[in-house]
Structure 1
Amino acid sequence: MTSRSSASANRLVQLLITVIVAAVLVAAATGLRAALAPHLGLLSPFMIYIAAVLAAGLIRGPLCGAIVMLGGGLIGYSLFLSPTGQAPPGSVLSLMLFWAVAAPVLVTANELRVQLRTAMNRLTEALRRGDRPPPP
């Protein structure tokens, strides 16, 4: 029973870390985009969020990336496309395109993360056995 509650507590802690990392990445991307607003205006309101989705997917996995994708899209839309409540024409399309581009970025980041973990596990196992990698 203790190990079950310990595992449950560990999952909860991992979920909390994922949410915190996502919030930090969205905040950082939003701050950077806000700093660039005088130079960019309404151009590319979501470009920085793509990098945040990629980082989230690599650092914490697909859940973190999905939170960044959703949060970045909604915050970016409200702050940079419709700050007065009146969204210019094409704003919703811009948001949909962001999500359409961010989703494959997240899938790719997750696949890279899985492949990297597999390669590191193989390397660790080879080093434990004392195998030497072939010369280049």
Structure 2
Amino acid sequence: MSPTTTSSISSDWPCQVKAPGSPDWERTAARWLRDLLPARYAGYSTLTRHPILLARHAQLQIQHEIRAVRVALQTCRAELPTLGVAETIIEGTIRLYAVELEQLDRLARAVRLITEALLAGSQPQRRRSRV
């Protein structure tokens, strides 16, 4: 079995992205990564033409989203009552943030896997310098 078969791919690998090494896999990776970013980024050709840049920006975007959700989760019990939000709504909001953190953690793992695969497939072997 070749290393690019589906059975060798991590369960964190997004199903929308073909296996590394398969025909057109980088295009499917780029499309998936683009979908993680705000729509306005689709107009930046530097990002859309270079999947590794797209992957890097997606990593940064998700890291910031994780931080934002953690802050929202940590502060909602103190801040939401002052805004007149009912306790039942606050509890639902806490559950929503917890689910979102799990989803963002999965996305972060998937982006890391794609980044690693892009790097493995695009970087030439570096020559060791002689000492």
TM-score range, shorter chain: 0.3 to 0.5
TM-score, scaled relative to structure 2: 0.41
Please identify which structure carries the higher helix content: 1
Higher relative contact order (CA 8 A, sep 6+): 2
